[in-house]
Amino acid sequence: ENDNNIKDFGFCHLDLHGGNANVIGEHLEFYDFDNSLCAPREYELSVFRWSCLIGKREEYWKSFYKNYKKNRKTNYMNYTKLEYYTVLRDLRVFELDIIKTNFYGENYISPEYISNRIKFQSSLLK
């Protein structure tokens, strides 16, 4: 098969970040599958990338992605898609926070929070 025709699409957790996984002994356990469905794996990777960038742990992402590319054919997946999907992930989290204002009140989201989201998203698309 021609590597350029690989479509990396399949079952994805869609909320895969450190808060939804745990190391137990020598095993990695995942949970919170309520967002799961078939999707592009670039989005799945972007969620992990997003969590690393938000948590100021970019070195984790770089190390993971370097090794990921060694073990998976990634010709179809281009890094630009990951950048856009990372912005989409941030927008999804922002959407969920807006929904939370129905429960916690409009002060749940501050102008500073909105400004930080815009700055973060802009930094990804440079």
- Reported as a single tens digit per residue, the pLDDT across 4-21 is 445 678 888 888 877 888
How far apart (Å, rounded) are the C-alpha atoms in residues 96 and 10?
Answer: 24
38: burial class by Cβ within 10 Å (0-12, 13-18, 19+)? exposed
Angle at 14 between CA 108 and CA 65, to 5 degrees: 110
Question: Residue 77 pLDDT more than 60?
Answer: no
Question: What per-residue confidence (pLDDT) applies to 50?
Answer: 93
Question: What is the average per-residue pLDDT within 56-82?
Answer: 81
With cut-offs at 50, 70 and 90, classify the pLDDT of residue 100: very high
**DSSP secondary structure code for residue 26 in this structure:** T
CB-hemisphere CA count at 13 Å for 23?
Answer: 3
